[in-house]
Amino acid sequence: MTPDEFRAAGRDLVDWIADYVEGVEQHRVTPAVVPGEVRSWLPAQPPTDVESWAAVRADVDHVILPGIAHWQHPSFFAYFPSNTTYPSILGELLTAGLGVQGMSWVTSPACTELETLMLDWMAQLLDLPERFASTSATGGGVIHGSASEATLCAILAARWRASGGRVNADGDTSRLVAYATSQAHSSIEKGLRIAGIGTDRIRLVPHDVELAMRPDALDALMAADRAAGLVPCIVVTTHGTTSSMAFDPTAAVAPIAAAHGAWLHADAAMSGVAALAPEQRWVNDGLDAADSYCTNPHKWMGVNFDCDLFWTADRVALLGALSILPEYLRSTAAEAGAVIDYRDWQVPLGRRFRSLKLWFTLRLEGVAAIQAMIRRHIELTQDLAALVAADERFEIVAPHPLNLLCLRLRAGDEATDALVEAANATGTALFTRTVLDGRSVLRASIGARATEARHVETAWRLLQSLAD
């Protein structure tokens, strides 16, 4: 492809994206395809000749669009918000165009230094404890691809610290124990398994009626494990669980974790960025004694996936767990301790220049616009809650302080399951089914940038009409 062809196709694609984003409502939320159908529309063999942009663009319209779920759709109420903003798209475009590798400071100083600055900016905007700032004694932050990866790194740091660093050599995880509630994200269990802490040594800490961790129960479990000769390694609290947006009491958990010698990681992947609105800063309560914390601008802040922010107050343990230095990666700057090499803060070696999209979003979209969006979503959720509460066929089954509402039909599990299925089958809205304390639940997550009151009202009328 020549530079001029790129200029022409690029301009066309920019327009295509603006048309797509502005017109996304015209699509079904989910595609009407069966397994294998998209593939059947494409050639089984790779092309032997160069094709035109027009041909590729036509396939984007006729093969890709009919095959995707539209996460930017204003009636997308499923899973979690994964919204995007125009500045973030520009940031991704620049990342691709520069094509630099940020594995070490020396492989692109601006990539490392902008990222460190963005983490410090975000720590200020979220009002996080000073101990997470890059300027603190042993703290600092990094962009991960996902909270799953951030959690895994927290686990590895915890494992390193609990073993006095010996785990790198002996691989001995046999006495380590981890703690979280049944409401913690599946990535916690997955990360623990990966790190050699199998499900036999993951304690599901009992929760209270609001699905939040019970500190007394945690204390009892940790004491029993220590009495049995085991080593508490990590406690993971969640600030906004996936199923119901429950908040574990990190402030009350922290002294217990500390007393038993365990790392405390607070997972606020879905909800932590709500603290961009000062009145919502309670979502991050209790972090003063946490060892690490993560939240995802790629969920509810309009920064494209992938952008998880991870902070730790103990980078010594993190680096102890993850750094490895072959000859071909040595640099004078790194050996002088003057710089951060982010490859040692993550599992992979390579890394993209992801801070650009965060920088672009904060400057070109602006914090005020993001705050307004977050506030609108919270308000829409509370409005929906009022509607649901007024219909005696439905019940709300969990607290809903932010933008997730969990509801069910009083008629029972089967009726609720059927409701989710019927609503999603219309293609006009998308919800997620979950199970809370053994009961089927419909989750309505309100977080797409384009979602307005009329979309929520239409979705509610749909649920009402299907409830009979």
Footprint (CB under 8 A) of a second copy, residues 32-91: 33, 35-39, 42, 44-51, 53, 55-56, 60, 63-64, 66-72, 79, 82-90
Q: Report the nearest approach of a second copy to the CB of residue 201 (Å).
A: 6
Q: Report the nearest approach of a second copy to the CB of residue 399 (Å).
A: 18
Report 324-353 residues binding a second copy (CB under 8 A).
324-330, 333, 338-339, 347-350, 352
- Amino acid identity of 208? D
Question: Going by DSSP bridges, is the β-strand pair 292-295/308-312 parallel, antiparallel, or unpaired?
Answer: antiparallel
Is residue 243 a contact point for a second copy (CB under 8 A)?
yes
Is residue 117 a contact point for a second copy (CB under 8 A)?
yes
Q: Report the nearest approach of a second copy to the CB of residue 298 (Å).
A: 8
User: Which of 25, 61, 62, 97 lies at the binding interface for a second copy (CB under 8 A)?
Assistant: 97
Is residue 146 a contact point for a second copy (CB under 8 A)?
yes
Our CB check for a second copy shows the closer of 142 and 256 to be 142
Backbone angles phi, psi at 440, to 5 degrees: -65, 140
Q: Report the nearest approach of a second copy to the CB of residue 254 (Å).
A: 26
CA 34, chain centre distance (Å): 28
List the structure tokens of 16.
């295509």
List the structure tokens of 256.
């217990």
Is residue 452 a contact point for a second copy (CB under 8 A)?
no
Our CB check for a second copy shows the closer of 166 and 454 to be 166
Is residue 460 a contact point for a second copy (CB under 8 A)?
no
Sequence-ordered list of residues with C-beta below 8 angstroms from that of 172, at least 6 positions apart, any chain: 163, 166
Is residue 300 a contact point for a second copy (CB under 8 A)?
no
Our CB check for a second copy shows the closer of 215 and 247 to be 247
Is residue 434 a contact point for a second copy (CB under 8 A)?
yes
Is residue 149 a contact point for a second copy (CB under 8 A)?
yes
Q: Report the nearest approach of a second copy to the CB of residue 119 (Å).
A: 11
Q: Report the nearest approach of a second copy to the CB of residue 252 (Å).
A: 26
Contact 96, 13 (CB under 8 A): no
Sequence-ordered list of residues with C-beta below 8 angstroms from that of 318, at least 6 positions apart, any chain: 153, 156, 157, 292, 312, 344, 345
Report 266-295 residues binding a second copy (CB under 8 A).
none
Stretch that binds a second copy, among 100-108, 223-231, 397-405, 453-461 (CB under 8 A): 100-108
Our CB check for a second copy shows the closer of 256 and 334 to be 334
User: Which of 181, 284, 295, 304 lies at the binding interface for a second copy (CB under 8 A)?
Assistant: 304
User: Which of 28, 106, 223, 418 lies at the binding interface for a second copy (CB under 8 A)?
Assistant: 106
Report 370-429 residues binding a second copy (CB under 8 A).
none
Sequence-ordered list of residues with C-beta below 8 angstroms from that of 344, at least 6 positions apart, any chain: 318, 319, 322, 323, 324
Is residue 230 a contact point for a second copy (CB under 8 A)?
no
